[in-house]
Chain A
Amino acid sequence: MSSETKQILTTDGIPLEVSLKKAEKKNKIKAFLLVAPLLFFLIITYVFPIGDMLFRSVDDKMVTQMLPKTFKAMENWDGQELPDEEVFAAFHEDFVKLVEDKREGKLSTQLNYTKNGFKSIIKKLRRASKKFEEGNYKEQIMSVHKRWADVEYWRAIQRRAPEFTGQKYLKGMDMYVNEEGKIVSVEEDRRIHRVLWLRTLEIAFFVTVFCFLMAYPIAHLLATLPMKYSNLLMICVLLPFWTSLLVRTASWMILLQQQGIVNDFFVGIGLVADDNRPEMMYNKTGSYVAMTQILLPFMVLPLYSVMKTISPSLMRAGKSLGGTPFVAFWKVYFPLTIPGIGAGCLLVFILAIGYYITPALVGGASGTLISNQIAFHMKSTLDWSFASAMGLMLLSGVLVIYWLYNKIVGIDNIKLG
């Protein structure tokens, strides 16, 4: 065949194609080996731990392992009326073992998550169980407290039987599985998490809008001024950018306090009375003002780098074709800046949605965001699985935003300076 006769050989007699492929493969391995140390470092210290969060958020083995015999005995229970003696005896056996290991406190904490009221009756049961006689545990346990004779509490225990659970995710959306096994919302006045999610979205959205409205004119000015002036003005953008977040938050705390300079100024121009200074910090206003100023450079820089590439002659051409400056701006200049707007808005929105430090310091109770709640559960309540669940909900929100952005603007159009 002609292809065989025409096959080109290298000097050592190997077909060129094979030889090239071999060289190519060698280069691929070389390139990969350079990336490998960082890649594996990040996979071990960062990617796996995020997977670990996923595992923790649904992991519910603790109770399963604490009450193995009870759950085995419960398999035959239909959940309609109080369980049989068999279940009570198994529960007693498990419980005695837990008391021996001093782990009954953990059980009460865990069961209390499912249904309030377990803490005290487990304490009572521990005291009473020391005097229990053998046999007829149902009667004995039920006599400790009337809740032990309430079928609701036994159903609550049964709900903790599976090794995995989605209840932390439901809790993050203020929902829970009720006695009939249906997913329902908690009462209106206890929906704290929904309020937080909405507030996080609202603050992130408006901060992005404010940043955009403020950044667009100054980015335009920086891009059109002659170099020597724009370099000087650029310092006003870059100095805050490089300055510690805490320093900038501190300066807003000084400015916004009740005896602070902003309030002094308002009193000075007669806007508010001296004895009626408005509270500008420890509420939403504080979060808005401080976050807008802190995130503004992240909007200015991508806008600037895009505007810098737009030739001024385009605007002149627009005007010479009969457009007013406004029409020329709207039809020619603005569409060209969309990649910069997209990048800036994406950056600011995503930074704002995960903001923690500034809201915690200037936000007060009404200005805190979902991140503060995550940190609270990590550090104060130590409910790490709940913190993980909320973190992953936030992360999936962020990924959805990236996905939408990629659909609408295209991630390749991003320009970050």
Chain B
Amino acid sequence: MALPKYTEPHYRIWHYIYLTICGAVFFFLIAPLFVIFPLSFNAEEFLSFSEGMKRLDPDAFSLRWYKDMIYGTKNPWGLAAKNSFIIAIFATIGSVILGTVAALGLSSRHMPYKGLIMAVLISPMIVPLIISGVAIFFFMAKAGLAATHTGIVLAHIILGTPFVVITVTATLSGFDHSVTRAAASLGSDPVNTFMKITLPLILPGVISGGLFAFVTSFDEVVVVLFLAGLENTTIPIQMWTGLREQLSPTILAVATCLIILSTLILVTAELLRRRSERLRGINQ
């Protein structure tokens, strides 16, 4: 953002102040994440930079905590990771199917009581999580699903569907319905039309909604804390107990892995968003 040559000096100064403020805010946003990387390679048991690390002494760095994360005795991370992935994958599948089908109905212009139904469908996103947690817990306890994988998966479907509904309805708002009519006029039945015509076109929206649902489930801790038993422990629960009880650098090793995972998800989501914008002709 180069300034024009004729800019007066005090605006010039103001402009640099503005850029400095922006720089500081970006630093505030992103820097905390980068503290975790070096500390997870700490050879010692402390959560601050040792003298050796400050001198960049190679002996001060080690993979000790990563080994502990994977091979440590009685370590909970293996089970937690397995549970987290299983729960997140099933919750994502459930959210995507329910959410996409509902979005198809919602974006039909014949849909009655659209506003009211939309409000109900996205309510889990609007209501504070702690309240959702209490309500879902009451339901699962009554249904006998507390402390089961099924219960947690269902809870995460509740929390994940609003994202799918929103992203897919947004994609469908730019959808040209004459293509489905064309397919129908050529003798295709509705299911076939959906699979061959509609789905491929709205796929970027479906996948990014699915990514949201996946991340929601994978990171969710408030509801899971109410629902999970010892067998259903997940990564967020382990991190929560770890952070509350003894802050061991193993948590930082896990956190580093999670940051890498979120980077991958971010890249995928961004690529999809751009592709979707290109397809919808927003950003040629």
- A residues engaging B (CB < 8 A)? 24, 27-28, 30-39, 41-50, 52-53, 56, 214-215, 217-218, 221, 224-225, 233, 235-240, 242-255, 257, 259-261, 264, 293, 296-297, 325, 350-351, 353-354, 356-357, 360-361, 371, 374-375, 378-379, 384, 387-388, 391-392, 394-395, 398, 402, 416
List 16 extra interface pairs beyond A244-B239, A244-B258, CB under 8 A.
A35-B117, A39-B121, A44-B139, A46-B158, A48-B139, A242-B265, A246-B219, A261-B49, A354-B127, A354-B130, A356-B129, A356-B130, A357-B221, A357-B222, A361-B240, A378-B226
Contacts of A259 in B (CB 8 A): 46, 48
Contacts of A27 in B (CB 8 A): 108, 110
9 residue pairs bridging A and B, Cβ less than 8 Å apart: A32-B105, A32-B111, A47-B123, A49-B135, A236-B30, A238-B270, A246-B255, A395-B127, A398-B128
Per-position 1/0 for B75-111, Cβ under 8 A of A: 0000000000000000000000011011011101011
Per-position 1/0 for B121-134, Cβ under 8 A of A: 10110111111111
Shortest A286–chain B CB gap in Å is: 13
**A30 close to B110 (CB less than 8 A):** yes
Contacts of A360 in B (CB 8 A): 244
**B108 close to A34 (CB less than 8 A):** yes
B136 contacts the other chain (CB 8 A): yes
Known: A42-B124, A242-B266, A325-B11. A375 touches B135 (CB 8 A): no
Stretch at the interface among B17-25, B65-73, B179-187, B195-203: B17-25
B138 contacts the other chain (CB 8 A): yes
**A378 close to B134 (CB less than 8 A):** yes
Contacts of B221 in A (CB 8 A): 245-246, 357
Contacts of A357 in B (CB 8 A): 221-222, 240
Shortest A207–chain B CB gap in Å is: 14
**B236 close to A52 (CB less than 8 A):** no
Known: A33-B105, A374-B134. A244 touches B33 (CB 8 A): no
Contacts of A375 in B (CB 8 A): 130, 133, 222, 225
Cross-chain contact of A257 among B47, B104, B131, B222 (Cβ < 8 A): B47
**B259 close to A394 (CB less than 8 A):** no
Shortest B140–chain A CB gap in Å is: 8
Whole-angstrom CA separation of A215 from B21 in the bound complex: 10
**A31 close to B33 (CB less than 8 A):** no
**B32 close to A293 (CB less than 8 A):** yes
**B243 close to A235 (CB less than 8 A):** no
Contacts of B121 in A (CB 8 A): 35, 38-39, 42
**B35 close to A254 (CB less than 8 A):** yes
Contacts of A238 in B (CB 8 A): 266, 269-270
**B35 close to A374 (CB less than 8 A):** no
The residue of chain B having its C-beta at the shortest distance from the C-beta of A325 within the complex is B11
> In B226-284, which residues have CB < 8 Å from any A CB?
226, 236, 239-240, 243-244, 247, 251-252, 255, 258-259, 262-263, 265-266, 269-270
Cross-chain contact of B131 among A33, A245, A395 (Cβ < 8 A): A395
Whole-angstrom CA separation of A337 from B165 in the bound complex: 26
The residue of chain A having its C-beta at the shortest distance from the C-beta of B218 within the complex is A244
The residue of chain B having its C-beta at the shortest distance from the C-beta of A259 within the complex is B48
Contacts of B111 in A (CB 8 A): 28, 31-32, 35
Known: A33-B105, A243-B259. A45 touches B243 (CB 8 A): no
**A246 close to B236 (CB less than 8 A):** yes
The residue of chain A having its C-beta at the shortest distance from the C-beta of B30 within the complex is A236
The residue of chain A having its C-beta at the shortest distance from the C-beta of B251 within the complex is A250
**A254 close to B104 (CB less than 8 A):** no
Contacts of B21 in A (CB 8 A): 217
The residue of chain A having its C-beta at the shortest distance from the C-beta of B212 within the complex is A242
Contacts of B25 in A (CB 8 A): 214-215, 217-218, 296
**B255 close to A251 (CB less than 8 A):** yes
The residue of chain A having its C-beta at the shortest distance from the C-beta of B265 within the complex is A242
Whole-angstrom CA separation of A260 from B263 in the bound complex: 26
Whole-angstrom CA separation of A214 from B26 in the bound complex: 9
Contacts of A32 in B (CB 8 A): 105, 111-112
Shortest A92–chain B CB gap in Å is: 35
Shortest B266–chain A CB gap in Å is: 5
**A255 close to B98 (CB less than 8 A):** no
Contacts of A379 in B (CB 8 A): 225-226
**B126 close to A34 (CB less than 8 A):** no
Whole-angstrom CA separation of A235 from B262 in the bound complex: 12
Whole-angstrom CA separation of A27 from B117 in the bound complex: 17
Cross-chain contact of A37 among B11, B98, B117 (Cβ < 8 A): B98
**B98 close to A38 (CB less than 8 A):** yes
10 smallest CB-CB distances across A and B, nearest first, come from A354-B128, A34-B105, A35-B105, A49-B135, A27-B110, A31-B108, A38-B102, A49-B139, A251-B32, A371-B130
Known: A30-B110, A43-B120, A224-B1. A371 touches B128 (CB 8 A): yes
Shortest A312–chain B CB gap in Å is: 11
Contacts of B102 in A (CB 8 A): 34-35, 37-39
The residue of chain A having its C-beta at the shortest distance from the C-beta of B129 within the complex is A354
Contacts of A30 in B (CB 8 A): 105, 108, 110
Contacts of B105 in A (CB 8 A): 30-36
**B128 close to A394 (CB less than 8 A):** yes
B56 contacts the other chain (CB 8 A): no
**B32 close to A248 (CB less than 8 A):** yes
- Taking each of A27, A32, A392, which has the highest tally of chain B beta carbons within 10 Å of its own beta carbon? A32
Shortest B136–chain A CB gap in Å is: 6
Shortest B214–chain A CB gap in Å is: 11
Shortest B139–chain A CB gap in Å is: 4
Contacts of B158 in A (CB 8 A): 41-42, 45-46
**B112 close to A28 (CB less than 8 A):** yes
Contacts of A34 in B (CB 8 A): 101-102, 104-106, 108
B171 contacts the other chain (CB 8 A): no
Whole-angstrom CA separation of A350 from B126 in the bound complex: 8
Per-position 1/0 for B159-174, Cβ under 8 A of A: 0010001100000000
B154 contacts the other chain (CB 8 A): yes
Whole-angstrom CA separation of A325 from B3 in the bound complex: 13
Whole-angstrom CA separation of A117 from B255 in the bound complex: 49
Cross-chain contact of A251 among B33, B112, B236, B269 (Cβ < 8 A): B33
